[in-house]
Structure 1
């Protein structure tokens, strides 16, 4: 069931305004709804590749950067090892990646693509094109939106760091 958000009457700038807490005024809800919609399209497009969306993200990083330690892979994806490990285990079970402990540091695990994982890249090339078409936006618009979202992410990351410091440390 798809429900379109109620159009809002414009921006609310005063936190005392009773409309401040309306669902359709919340950027977090709009971002979450867009993310869920993207995931729905990706779920259909990635089915033929045998990947889930999180697995696709792992593969994107490995196709771009090559073999990486799990820690660096997690940094690229903004995922902790507890979330990343099950993804890697499933990708390894599918024969797409290989995990190997470092000989010099037993704590470090390096993730490499297998031949099958490397070959999957060719089949995945169509995914971004189809996602772009699904958005109804042109590539320039998508680039601008991505840039704005990256700036928003940076601002929110900075806000979290500041909030975590607490008033005494500011």
Structure 2
């Protein structure tokens, strides 16, 4: 067997496994807020920006519209956001956070410090890891 085909020599596998593991670490804290991990990501963008277009959300979260649209519809049904057709361009849909969505921000503030503690990495290690992962993500996206 080629060394290149051994599971332990793959870059993709630890990234895949770690992604699943980290998402599962978030799960109990997000369940208390009534959120899934993708919904949490959308809300983080809206807490920062107050509103965004569907296109902007897709670009920021690396999600296609086929994934994003049903997610946003569920969040609107739960009164976390409103989807409003843009008055400037009817092809564009603006996503606006509601008061209920804003209220979750205070409760969610506890999550990042808990995750940091669970990962047992220093601030410097976290910054380096995040920067390296972003670099790989950008490289892979530019090659598609």
TM-score scaled by length of structure 2 = 0.95
Query: Pairwise mapping of residues 68-147 of structure 1 onto structure 2 (< 5 A)?
Result: 68-147=52-131
TM-score scaled by length of structure 1 = 0.81
Query: Pairwise mapping of residues 1-170 of structure 1 onto structure 2 (< 5 A)?
Result: 18-160=2-144
Tell me the matched-pair count: 144
Quote the Cα distance in structure 2 between the aligned partners of 1:72 and 1:18: 42
- 1:136 deviates by 1.2
- 1:79 deviates by 1.0
What's the secondary structure of 2:143's corresponding residue? helix
Q: Which has the larger radius of gyration?
A: 1
- 1:104 deviates by 2.9
Runs ≥4 in structure 1, deviation > 3 angstroms?
A: none
Choose between structure 1 and 2 for higher RCO, CA contacts under 8 A separated by at least 6 residues: 2
Quote the Cα distance in structure 2 between the aligned partners of 1:96 and 1:40: 22
Give ranges in structure 2 of 5+ residues lacking alignment: none
- 1:122 deviates by 0.4
